[in-house]
Amino acid sequence: MNSAPPIIHLKDIHFSYPGGKAVLNHLDFKFYRGDRTGLIAPNGSGKTTLFHLIMGLVKPSSGKIELFGKPVSTARDFEDVRRRIGLLFQDPDDQLFSPTVMEDVAFGPLNLGKSKSEAQTIAHRTLAYLGLEGFEDRITYKLSGGEKRLVSLATVLAMEPEVLLLDEPLNGLDVDTRAKIEEIIFNLDLSYIIISHDIDFLLSTTAQIYTIKNGKILFDDKLQIHAHRHAHPHGQYPHEHE
């Protein structure tokens, strides 16, 4: 068992958008350093909302969030957290805002206090790692959907976060690029949560898979082909047996 505290701990979270019904309801979730977790659940079930709560982009109506062992609630608390947790947005247009690819990818490292040349070196290296050599001067808004997704991933990786939250990272990618990104993700020495509708992708990149039902996160036994080899490391969480 892991005796360190969870690095993401959501306690009895309730969330609804203004005027809407509850999206997340009495949700509890613990995520530990080194965890590789998949999240698969129907459209509109609250997956993206969950990531936005962890990043402080939306606020829970009630409940508590602890990140890296500390309660977080103010904008300042979340500013610190955003240096350590990288979010790949579901829609790359939410991620990319600079005129050129280089400016977008170097933005994070610059923001973390790196010099301009250090930031550019990191950006070049990250782009090359993702097979995007030569994209530095491309105009961001003119990229194809798949290229935007890859550049978005580059902006997140360039920040060298401790934890990655990847919201449908393979969306819009062709078969070869999907295979490449799947391998890159698998080889990352990071803790991560991946939202995807592709169960095979999750089975190959994550060690446990959760779902969201009625606003709560559930450990889904049906999705764990290795469930018994892993001996239910998260068995203390609510999970379903039919």
187 binds, among ligand ATP, Mg ion, none (CB under 5 to 8 A by kind): none
Least Å distance, CB 17 to ligand ATP, is: 3
Q: Does position 196 bind Mg ion by CB under 5 A?
A: no
Q: Which of residues 3-62 bind ligand ATP (CB under 6 A)?
A: 17, 20, 23, 41, 43-49
55 or 112: CB nearest ligand ATP? 55
**Which residue, among 200, 163, 156, 161, has the nearest Cα to 31 in the 3D structure?**
163
**Which residue, among 212, 242, 223, has the nearest Cα to 45 in the 3D structure?**
212
Least Å distance, CB 46 to ligand ATP, is: 4
126 binds, among Mg ion, ligand ATP, none (CB under 5 to 8 A by kind): none
Binding characters for ligand ATP, 71-90, by CB under 6 A (x = yes) = -------------------x
Binding characters for ligand ATP, 90-129, by CB under 6 A (x = yes) = x---------------------------------------
Q: Does position 90 bind Mg ion by CB under 5 A?
A: yes
Question: Site for Mg ion (CB under 5 A): which residue of 37, 45, 48, 196?
Answer: 48
Least Å distance, CB 218 to ligand ATP, is: 14
Q: Does position 211 bind ligand ATP by CB under 6 A?
A: no
Residues that bind ligand ATP (CB under 6 A): 17, 20, 23, 41, 43-49, 90
Residues that bind Mg ion (CB under 5 A): 47-48, 90
